[in-house]
Amino acid sequence: MSRNLSTKIRSLTPTIKEKLCTLARGIDKTRVVTLNVLFVAIIVGVIIIAFSGGGPDVPKSTTLVVAPAGSLVEQLGGGDPLERAKQELMGGAESETLLKDLIDAISTAKEDERVKALVLDLNNLGGAGVTKLQDLGAVIDDFKTSGKTVIATADNYSQTAYYLAAHADEIYLHPMGMILLEGLGRYRTYYKDGIDRLELDWNVFKVGTFKSAVEPYLRNDMSPAAREANLEWMGDLWQAFLTDVSAARGLSVEDLVDYSENVSAYIEATGGDTAQAALDAGLIDTIATRDEVRARLIELVGEDEDAHSYYRVGIDDYLEAEGGDRTGEKAKGDLVGVVVARGLILGGTQPPGKIGGDSTSALIRQARQDDNVKAIVLRVDSGGGSAFASEIIRRECELAKEDGKPVVISMGSVAASGGYWISMASDEVWAHPTTITGSIGIFGMFPTYQKPLAKYLGWRVDGVGTTRLAGAIRPDRELDPEVGEIIQSIINKGYDEFITLAAEARGVTPEDIDRVGQGRVWSGEDAFELGLVDKMGGLEDAIASAAKLADLGDEFAVKYIEKELDFKQKLVADMLGAASTLLGVSAEPVNSADAPHREVLRLIEDQLEILDEFNDPSGMYAYSWLDVD
């Protein structure tokens, strides 16, 4: 039949063929015109949404729904606002929630008569440092002083989610839900046997008995020194967690510890009913299905008949409706400039969510050269990275001080190793008691793989050079011992410089810093006792102190110093953001508890990604390999 059809087609007269071609061209032209019309219609709709003055409506009686997705962070990653808007529109943005947005919205809602209750929807909350949980818990407690109700709900509560839920007036858990308080742990993958099996030469150079970042390449287990240091700082953080939850929930620390360590007995006593076990332990108030929680909220604020649910407004819509200047971009008068340094420290220009030696120092310089900015606060949330990039940033802070502008460091969840390095040129260093800091140490690594190349592929490298060092830094050649000595000398020099700068900053001797250095990690509380930081407190405390150092009194504003977009970039970013809203695009967080194997693969991938991104020109790193979030 197909042969007959082909014959018929070939027998068509030229006139008929021309008519068919004309018809095809007409259909194609119609398709193009239709698509263009649709595209223009979407653009027009987006522009109308992006630039309409009204913004989202806030019902007269409503709940503010706090539903953090993914990790709580000090700064959103994924590039500048324009790049992030593109990723969100395409559905490729990593799920993160900006801590500042939650704090700002809850603080505003406290005084807003339209907001009758606060709902903590904690189903999709990922990781969060203890300092971030404490900051958010404090603002929830402050909201409660208004007399408004706070309700927490989740199908299951992670340990992180439960910390926040404990601050609620009413905690609801699904009948099939569970609460796990597993404590704090630090486990890493160790590669020594695998490296030996592959016959790799993983050359490591370091200074610091406690500098455990390189241990996975040298050992098959955690060293006794690392065990000692890790247990000490984790013990401080776990005790703070228990104390806070105890105070918020009205349970004793002993009760919480008992549930944490004997959860199997609690569950067994209920015949396997995990929700009832949590209720019996006093961790929740009510076991309720989703519709029952919804009915309770309708009872509080009324029913939105169109949505068949309770009246509600989310964080983004609420902040937009309030028209708040979220970064202080429009602030006038005397300013305290806040520069956020979050993530891995790398050389060059890096996007938000990472710290670039060039890009972060440029922000500090922008604040230094702005006559309206009278003081600078550097908010550090980093486990370190490139020593060279760290020094570029530290020097920029030093220049700001020399120009007469107070520089105050505010340490977040982590300010260790390179994160401590960039904190040294300052007038004051503030840390939370639960900040992870210190880790004053240096390391470098240079793996070579000439043995497996020869054994498995029969490949060998040979040649000549005019000096002994020519071609010496090749991963497919054995590392020359003399080159190894050179690298170790550089690492030793880097450590000496680290402790010398720290000693000058802290007003002590290098020997004093060495005694608390050697790569050892400390909690903020211990760091304060050891003299590594000046004061205990959060970001707001550091901002107030910076204003005081600049003699600003109470008449000052806060401006977050960020990379400036030109008008065209802002226009496109606003349009893309509006398009995301119009199309209902959202990032779905991956819950690692639902897929434990994914979490293992993610951890390995993260370590490999960090190794791949390391770009210090001298191969010298002040990095503590600690989770920031």
Q: Tell me the per-residue pLDDT of 159-170, one tens digit each, with 9 for 90 and over.
A: 999 999 999 999
**pLDDT score recorded for residue 568:** 47
pLDDT class of 606 with cuts at 50, 70, 90: low
**pLDDT score recorded for residue 603:** 58
337 vs 368: CA distance, rounded Å: 9
Mean pLDDT computed over 168-190: 95
**pLDDT score recorded for residue 57:** 86
pLDDT class of 33 with cuts at 50, 70, 90: low
Strand 442-448 relative to strand 201-207, pairing: antiparallel
pLDDT class of 43 with cuts at 50, 70, 90: low
278 vs 269: CA distance, rounded Å: 11
- Amino acid identity at 78: G
Angle at 305 between CA 301 and CA 310, to 5 degrees: 30
Class of residue 304 by CB neighbours under 10 A (exposed 0-12, middle 13-18, buried 19+): middle
Class of residue 323 by CB neighbours under 10 A (exposed 0-12, middle 13-18, buried 19+): exposed
Mean pLDDT computed over 1-18: 51
CATH number of the domain located at residue range(s) 62-185+223-322 in this protein: 3.90.226.10
169 vs 426: CA distance, rounded Å: 41
pLDDT class of 95 with cuts at 50, 70, 90: confident
**pLDDT score recorded for residue 565:** 53
Class of residue 173 by CB neighbours under 10 A (exposed 0-12, middle 13-18, buried 19+): buried
Mean pLDDT computed over 205-209: 88
Decide which of 207 and 35 is more confident: 207
Spatial CA neighbour of 400 closest among 372, 425, 431, 379: 425
Span 380-395, pLDDT tens digits: 999 999 999 999 999 9
The most confident of the ranges 1-10, 91-100, 150-159, 298-307 is 150-159
Mean pLDDT computed over 334-355: 95
498 vs 441: CA distance, rounded Å: 8
Domain 335-587+616-623, CATH number (from 3.65.10.10, 3.90.226.10, 3.40.50.720, 3.30.930.10):
3.90.226.10
Span 307-325, pLDDT tens digits: 899 999 999 999 989 887 7
Whether the per-residue pLDDT at 589 is higher than 50: the answer is no
Look at phi and psi of residue 103 and say left if phi exceeds 0, alpha if psi is from -120 to 50, else beta: alpha
Share of the chain above pLDDT 90, in %: 69
Span 136-178, pLDDT tens digits: 999 999 999 999 999 999 999 999 999 999 999 999 999 999 9
Mean pLDDT computed over 272-288: 97
Whether the per-residue pLDDT at 580 is higher than 50: the answer is no
pLDDT class of 80 with cuts at 50, 70, 90: low
**pLDDT score recorded for residue 626:** 67
Whole-model pTM? 0.83
DSSP 213: G
pLDDT class of 541 with cuts at 50, 70, 90: very high
pLDDT class of 27 with cuts at 50, 70, 90: low
- Amino acid identity at 364: I
Residues serving a catalytic function are 211, 417
136 vs 462: CA distance, rounded Å: 60
The most confident of the ranges 17-26, 112-121, 200-209, 327-336 is 112-121
Decide which of 128 and 622 is more confident: 128
List the beta bridge partners of residue 448. 201
532 vs 429: CA distance, rounded Å: 8
Whether the per-residue pLDDT at 91 is higher than 60: the answer is no
**pLDDT score recorded for residue 300:** 94
Mean pLDDT across the chain: 86
**pLDDT score recorded for residue 591:** 45
Indicate the SS3 state at residue 177.
coil
**pLDDT score recorded for residue 325:** 72
CB 356 within 8 A of CB 395: no
Could you state, in order of their start, the residue ranges of all structural domains in the chain?
2-51, 62-185+223-322, 335-587+616-623
List the beta bridge partners of residue 386. 621
